[in-house]
Chains A and B, each alone.
Chain A
Amino acid sequence: MTNQETIAGKLSERFGPEVIQDTPAFRDQVTAVVARERILDVCRFLRDDPELAFDFLSFVAGVDRYPASPRFEVVYQLYSTTKNHRFRVKVLAPEESDGSASVDSVFRIWPTADWHERETAEMFGITFKGHPDPRKLLLPENWTVHPLRKDFPLEGTEELTPDLP
Chain B
Amino acid sequence: MGIERHLNDTVHVTNLEWFVNWARKSSMWPLGFGLACCALEMIATFVSRYDLSRFGMEVARPSPRQADLMIVAGTASKKMLPAVLRIYEQMADPKWVIAMGACACTGGIYKNYAVVQGIDRHLPVDVYVPGCPPRPEALLDGILQLHARVMKEQSIRNPRIPRIKTTR
A contact set with B: CB distance below 8 Å = 138, 140, 145, 147, 152-156, 158, 160-165
Secondary structure dominating the interface of A:
loop
A-B contacts at CB below 8 angstroms, number: 37
- Complex contacts, B116 vs chain A, CB 8 Å: 163
Closest B residue, CB atoms, query A156: B113
Instruction: Please measure, in the bound complex, the distance between the C-alpha atom of A152 and the C-alpha atom of B112, giving whole angstroms.
Output: 11
B112–A162 CB distance below 8 A: no
B122 at the interface (CB under 8 A from A): yes
A147–B79 CB distance below 8 A: no
A162-B167, A163-B81, A163-B167 given as contacts; is B121 within 8 A of A154 (CB)? no
**Nearest-Cβ distance from residue B166 to partner chain A, whole angstroms:** 9
- Complex contacts, B85 vs chain A, CB 8 Å: 164
12 new A-B pairs (CB below 8 Å) besides A162-B78, A162-B167, A165-B82?
Answer: A140-B79, A145-B113, A147-B114, A154-B112, A155-B112, A155-B113, A156-B113, A161-B113, A161-B114, A163-B121, A164-B78, A164-B82
Instruction: Please measure, in the bound complex, the distance between the C-alpha atom of A37 and the C-alpha atom of B113, giving whole angstroms.
Output: 34
